């Protein structure tokens, strides 16, 4: 898992080197307890801090799988608004189901996709980090802004996947409802929807039920891009990757299509979502 995080963290090295401020606060998302190898949290965090030569300071770690990145985003957003985290924070997540212990656990639980289980998941791994800053910070820090985090929403599903029973999608409905009722994110429909989920039918049913209760938030026609189609089940790591996909895709669509909703629902029932809007650079404007 460290190797995946190491590769992702290398991408923010130039950013950290360009900042004159002291240590940058880090909000980190990690795997949830359950399937997979046990995560040595302290060792992983220590390795990440050593990798950046003391430029990072861990503020909060969220161990909630596919919801972890969104919980980290919400924590960083709150601290930036209050001034606790200064002008800029780093938000990231890492997860892997590709090690032997995780693969064995997946097979033992009969959750892997195969000939005898067409409704299973493909194990994956991913990691990513994004810089989140206060509105006035990019100009003073001479940073290019690629998108705006409009809001986040969190909830807990009382009948999660881990219980192996039918879900009424109460948690995901709550998250979508919060975003729909918000003055900013609910002002108009989003242009794209991205899910951090693997490919099982459980997740499609969960989304469908929550969507039908909040249709005014979603685009028509509706198409959901699912992480499992390309990443497999990347757990917590799917969040930052799908955020990057959302902002990248927005640059190649029509002028008005810039807003995306991204969500992640963990096996244990923790759920998180955010709405982001792409910002074109001066070079891209007509």
Q: Assess contact for 239 and 69: CB atoms under 8 A.
A: yes
Q: How many CB atoms lie within 10 A of CB 162?
A: 14
What gap in Å lies between CA 165 and CA 267, rounded to an integer? 12
- Looking at residue 22, its pLDDT comes to 81
Residue 135 exposed, middle or buried by CB count within 10 Å (0-12, 13-18, 19+): exposed
Q: Render each residue's pLDDT in the chain as its tens digit; 286 residues.
A: 888 998 999 988 888 888 876 899 999 999 998 877 778 889 999 998 898 888 999 999 999 999 999 999 999 999 999 988 889 999 999 999 988 888 998 999 999 999 889 999 999 999 999 999 998 888 888 888 889 999 999 999 999 999 888 889 999 999 999 999 999 999 999 999 999 999 899 999 999 999 999 999 999 999 999 999 999 999 999 999 999 999 887 666 666 679 999 999 999 999 999 999 998 765 555 5
N-terminal to C-terminal alpha carbon distance within the chain: 42
Residues 6+ apart with CB under 8 A from 231: 124, 126, 237, 238, 241
H or E element: which one contains 109? none
Residues 6+ apart with CB under 8 A from 247: 146, 147, 260, 276, 278
Residue 89: strand, helix, or coil: strand
- Looking at residue 186, its pLDDT comes to 97
Helices (H) and strands (E) in the chain, counts: 9, 9
């Amino acid at each position: 898992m460290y190797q995946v995080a190491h590769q992702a963290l290398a991408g923010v090295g130039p950013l950290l080197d360009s900042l004159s401020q002291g240590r940058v606060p880090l909000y980190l998302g990690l795997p949830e307890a359950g399937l997979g190898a046990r995560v040595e949290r302290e060792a992983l965090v220590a390795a990440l801090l050593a990798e950046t030569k003391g430029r990072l300071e861990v503020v909060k770690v969220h161990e909630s799988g596919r919801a972890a990145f969104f919980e980290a985003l919400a924590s960083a957003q709150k601290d930036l608004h209050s001034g606790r985290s200064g002008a800029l924070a780093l938000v990231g997540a890492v997860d892997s189901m590709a090690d032997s212990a995780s693969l064995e656990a997946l097979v033992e639980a009969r959750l892997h996709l195969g000939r005898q289980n067409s409704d299973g998941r493909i194990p994956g791994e991913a990691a990513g980090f994004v810089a989140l800053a206060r509105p006035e910070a990019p100009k003073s820090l001479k940073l290019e802004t690629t998108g705006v985090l409009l809001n986040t929403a969190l909830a807990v599903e009382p009948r999660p996947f881990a219980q192996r029973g039918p879900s009424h999608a109460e948690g995901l409905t709550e998250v979508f409802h919060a975003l729909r009722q918000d003055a900013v994110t609910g002002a108009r429909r989003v242009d794209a929807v991205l899910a951090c989920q693997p490919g099982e039918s459980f997740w499609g049913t969960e989304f469908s039920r929550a969507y039908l209760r909040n249709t005014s938030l979603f685009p028509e026609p509706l198409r959901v891009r699912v992480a499992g189609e390309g990443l497999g089940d990347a757990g917590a790591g799917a969040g930052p990757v799908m955020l990057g996909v959302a902002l990248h895709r927005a640059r190649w669509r029509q002028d008005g299509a810039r807003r995306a909703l991204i969500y992640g629902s963990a096996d244990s029932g923790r759920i998180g979502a955010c709405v982001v809007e792409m910002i074109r650079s001066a070079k891209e404007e007509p």
